[in-house]
């Protein structure tokens, strides 16, 4: 008689359903799809702009359609989730040491939100909204 190690296979298609932390991870990963689609739409907008005023207006109308608005709300929501989940882990990837101690993680996260707010404000001012 001898060894016969038993190998448990992880399902390639459903592993992320097996634990809540994996579900969070997948949520975080899935949110980027919406952000990517939104980026494609923006680039498409640039393309339409180059085709003349009518094309541009069509693109704008598309965005303002109920479907367009729903998509943008969803994309915005997911972008926020994505932002939150990324900012949360920044202190792990970016440790800042001052002498014998490290800059507290919350400060680093706070700084990221601060920069996000400033850039958002800048963009809104550029867009003439604020």
Partner 1 sequence: MDVINTDIAIVGAGGAGLRAAIEIAEADPKLNVVLISKVYPMRSHTCAAEGGAAGVIKANDSLDYHFNDTVGGGDWLTDQDAVELFVNEIPRELTRMEHWGCPWSREDAGTVAVRPFGGMKVMRTWFAADKTGFHMLHTLFQTTLKYPSIKRLDEHYATDLIVDGGRVQGAVCLEMSTGKLKLVKAKAVIIASGGAGRIFPFTTNGAIKTGDGMAMAYRAGAALKDMEFVQYHPTGLPGSGILLTEGCRGEGGYLLNKDGYRYLQDYDLGPATPEPVLKSMELGPRDRLSQAFWHEQKKGRTAASKWGDVVYLDMRHLGEKLINERLPLVRDLACSYVGTDPVTDLVPVRPVVHYMMGGIHTDIDAATTIDGLYAAGECACVSINGANRLGSNSLGELLVFGARAGRHAVEHIRTTKPAADKLVEKQASDAEQRIKLLFERKGKERVSVLRNELTHSLEDGCGIYRSGDLIQATCDKVSEVRDRYKDVMLEDKSSVFNTDLFQVLELGAMIECAQTVAVSALERKESRGAHQRLDHVERDDVNYLKHTMAFYNPNGDPRIDYLDVVITKSQPAARVYGAAAGGQHI
Partner 2 sequence: MSTRTITIEVLRYRPEQDQEPFFQSYTVPCDEDWVVLDALNYIKDELDRTLSYRWSCHMFVCGSCGIVVDGEPKLGCKAFVKDYGDKIRVEPLGNFPIERDLVVVIDDFIEKLESVNPYLIPKEEKSIDDGEYLQTPAQLKAFKQYSMCINCLLCYSACPQYGLDPSFVGPAALALAHRYNMDSRDVGRKAREDVVASHEGIWECSFVGACSQVCPKDVDPAGAIQQTKITSAIDYVTSFLPGGNR
Residues linked to residue 101 through DSSP beta bridges, in sequence order: 98
Q: Is the Cβ of residue 4 or residue 12 nearer to partner 1 in the bound state?
A: 4
* Positions that interact with partner 2 (CB under 8 A): 1, 3-8, 10, 12, 15-16, 19, 21-22, 25, 29, 89, 91-95, 97, 99-102
The span from the CA of 95 to the CA of 104, in Å, is 9
Burial pattern 9-38, b for ≥16 Cβ within 10 A else e, equals eeeeeeebeeeeeeeeeeebeebeebeeeb
> Cβ of residue 3: shortest distance to partner 2, in angstroms?
6
CA–CA distances in Å: residue 53 to residues 44, 60, 66, 107: 14, 10, 22, 46
Q: Which ranges in 7-65 belong to alpha helices (H)?
A: 20-50, 53-64
- Site for partner 1 contains 3 (CB under 8 A): yes
Q: Does 9 bind partner 1 (CB under 8 A)?
A: no
50 binds, among partner 2, partner 1, none (CB under 5 to 8 A by kind): none
Residue 13's binding partner among partner 2, partner 1, none (Cβ under 5 to 8 angstroms by kind) is none
Per CB under 8 A, the segment of 2-10, 16-24, 86-94, 109-117 that binds partner 1 is 2-10
- Which tokens go with 93? 């990837």
Binding-site size, partner 1 (CB under 8 A): 4
Q: Does 2 help bind partner 1 (rule: CB under 8 A)?
A: yes
Q: Which residues bind partner 1 (CB under 8 A)?
A: 1-4
């Amino acid at each position: 008689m001898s060894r016969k190690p038993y190998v448990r296979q992880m399902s390639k298609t459903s592993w992320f359903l097996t634990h809540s932390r994996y579900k969070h991870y997948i949520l975080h990963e899935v949110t980027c799809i919406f952000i990517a689609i939104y980026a494609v739409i923006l680039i498409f907008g640039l393309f339409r702009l180059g085709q003349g005023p009518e094309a541009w207006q069509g693109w704008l109308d598309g965005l303002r359609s109920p479907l367009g608005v729903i998509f943008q709300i969803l994309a915005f929501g997911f972008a926020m989730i994505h932002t939150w989940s990324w900012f949360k882990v920044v202190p792990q990837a970016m440790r800042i040491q001052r002498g014998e101690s490290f800059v507290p993680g919350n400060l680093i996260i706070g700084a990221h939100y601060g920069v996000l707010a400033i850039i958002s404000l800048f963009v809104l001012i550029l867009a003439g909204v604020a």
